[in-house]
With several copies, the nearest count.
Chain A
Amino acid sequence: MKKIEAIIKPFRLDEVLEALKAVGVTGMTVTEVKGFGRQKGRKELYRGAEHEVEFVPKTMIALVVSDELLDQSVDAIVEAARTGKIGDGKIFVSEIGEAIRVRTGERGKSVL
């Protein structure tokens, strides 16, 4: 099993969700995060001063998939999240040793 963590632009979430559903992903977990990267933060006004906000709002999607589904899932995310502008985000893949479903206590791929 693999864990995919994708950091994307918040307004692409709906598209990414649809794309993942389309390749057969049935579960995922989403977190609101702040990103620092090549995309620069915005200038903000504050009473006679302007300051740079270093962080940009991002959405992180975490999903654990079977090894077979990995490539399709990554491709789906890349396609749905892409706007072509700096700051579209990154996807990181890592290894998951075990998965357990709380409701039933079952383990392994069937949990996903």
Chain B
Amino acid sequence: MKVLFYIVFSVVAIFCGTDAFAAELLSAGDTAWVMVSTALVLLMLPGLALFYAGMVRSKNVLSTVMMSFMAMGVIAIEWVVLGYSGAFGGMGGPLFGGFDQLMLSGIGPASLSGTIPTYSFVAFQGMFAIITPALISGAVVERMKFGVYTLFILLWSIIVYNPVAHWVWGEGGWLLEHGALDFAGGTVIHISSGASALAVIWVLGKRRGFLKEAFVPHSLPMTLTGAGLLWFGWFGFNAGSALAANGTAAMALLSTNTASAAGLLGWLIAEKIKFGKPSALGAASGCVAGLVAITPGAGFVTPAWAIPVGFVGGVICFYAVCMKTRLGYDDALDVIGIHGVGGFWGAIITGVVATVGTGSLMTGDTRQFVVQIVGAVAVAVYAFIVTYVICRILDAVFGLRVSSADELNGLDHSEHGEGAYNI
């Protein structure tokens, strides 16, 4: 929170032209940390690409990777052109940012946000904008047209992501005003992508052969490599969200690592109980589930409390994923089960066990707990509805799905004219 006031404050300072004053606040250490964190979050994109691509069949590997890469391509530009302004610009309305910082106008190397250059803040936040639609892609792989996907993530970023980011993190955003805690994007990123994933597959439909054939991951080492990069990058994601190299960042880092380990254990134990064996894919999934769970509370929850947050996150996500086959919706790579469900768990448990720099149920702050639930539900509902409408329109105009023949032969060839391996 404090962090956000700093930002607000210094943004104001800049607009008042008090550059000299601003300059006094630059911390090279904080800047170094946020730049590193930016790079770490960027690495999560190839990490996610590998994590996802390992799980698809070998005819859809490149098309899966390309969904993450395309998010880097399109949203990185959108963010500079209008996204940053849409989320963090403007005069502080509750719902949207503004149009005053299109093309980052008014920002220069000397502009500061808190103790770091505004450019750093823009870049760091941009990475979150990039990764969120890429997360959704896990639900739609193996059947969605690449061109339409590209258009989809562009629209989604503008209409869903930017406003939601403004609600939670932007000056005057209504959830921020109500004090909703979302340290590193549990609500903005995980709940929004999970809810949107549900909306997209609702329109998109199941893969051919879903529940009839087994869709076996083509390369689990690839998925595990991706999981390793995600774990690594998540340190930037969570601890970077302190926007400074200080004790809060250090705690966020340690809590993140602890929760990730606990999520891994939780998933494996649940799996061992249910199926008799702990699987490698379970380890990868569990560590991501733990990371999702701790994301909203990383800077508010002590490392010791991060253990149950992550562990239960791992267990809950495991059972959520198990339910997929029973409910019969084809969330190909379990975006809903992990990011949606894990995001909800994280948002709510933060309202229970957060003790550092904030209140929660544990300190008797019921209001905070309720705010957490309101924030999670509001974002989920908004993201679901708007995404559903976007997809219906895109489906009517272009069609979301590749042809049945293309789906059989694989999207690598139909969408990209390539095959992944020639060994």
Measuring CB to CB, which residues of chain A are less than 8 angstroms from any residue of chain B? 11, 14, 42-53
Contacts and interface: CB of A to CB of B under 8 A. Distances in A.
A11 to B, nearest CB: 5
Interface stretch (B118-126, B196-204, B231-239, B321-329): B321-329
A44 B321 contact: no
B281 A45 contact: yes
Nearest to B319: A48
Interface string B319-344: 10111110000000010010000000
A6 B275 CA distance: 35
A50 B275 contact: yes
A45 B279 contact: yes
Interface residues of B, number: 28
B321 A45 contact: no
B214 A42 contact: no
Contact of A45 (B215, B319, B323, B418): B418
B275 A45 contact: yes
Contact of A47 (B277, B321, B409): B321
Contacts of B418: 44-46
B90 interface: no
Interface of B: 213-217, 271, 275, 277, 279, 281-282, 285, 318-319, 321-325, 334, 337, 408-409, 413, 416-419
Given A47-B282, A50-B417, 11 more contacts: A14-B213, A44-B214, A44-B417, A45-B279, A45-B281, A45-B416, A45-B418, A46-B215, A47-B285, A48-B322, A53-B214
A48 B318 contact: yes
15 contacts: A14-B213, A42-B413, A44-B413, A44-B417, A45-B277, A45-B417, A46-B215, A46-B279, A46-B281, A47-B281, A48-B319, A48-B321, A48-B322, A48-B323, A51-B216
Contact of B324 (A14, A43, A44, A48): A48
A45 B216 CA distance: 9
Interface centre among A14, A43, A45, A48, by most chain B C-beta atoms within 10 angstroms, is A48
A52 B275 CA distance: 13
Given A11-B408, A51-B214, A45 B282 contact: yes
Nearest to A42: B413
Contacts of B321: 47-48
A53 B419 CA distance: 10
Chain A, interface SS category: mixed
B419 A49 contact: no
A52 B413 CA distance: 12
Given A43-B417, A44-B417, A49 B216 contact: no
A44 B419 contact: yes
A42 B416 CA distance: 12
B421 to A, nearest CB: 11
A44 B216 contact: yes
A45 to B, nearest CB: 4
A45 B323 CA distance: 15
Nearest to B318: A48
Given A11-B408, A14-B213, A42-B413, A47 B275 contact: no
A45 B66 CA distance: 15
A14 B418 CA distance: 20
Contacts of B419: 44, 53
Report the 8 A-B pairs with minimum CB-CB distance, sorted nearest first. Answer: A48-B322, A51-B214, A48-B321, A45-B417, A45-B279, A11-B408, A47-B321, A49-B325
B89 to A, nearest CB: 40
Contact of A46 (B216, B318, B408): B216
A51 B334 CA distance: 17
Contacts of A43: 417
Contacts of A52: 214
A14 B213 CA distance: 8
A46 B281 CA distance: 7
Contacts of A46: 214-217, 279, 281, 418
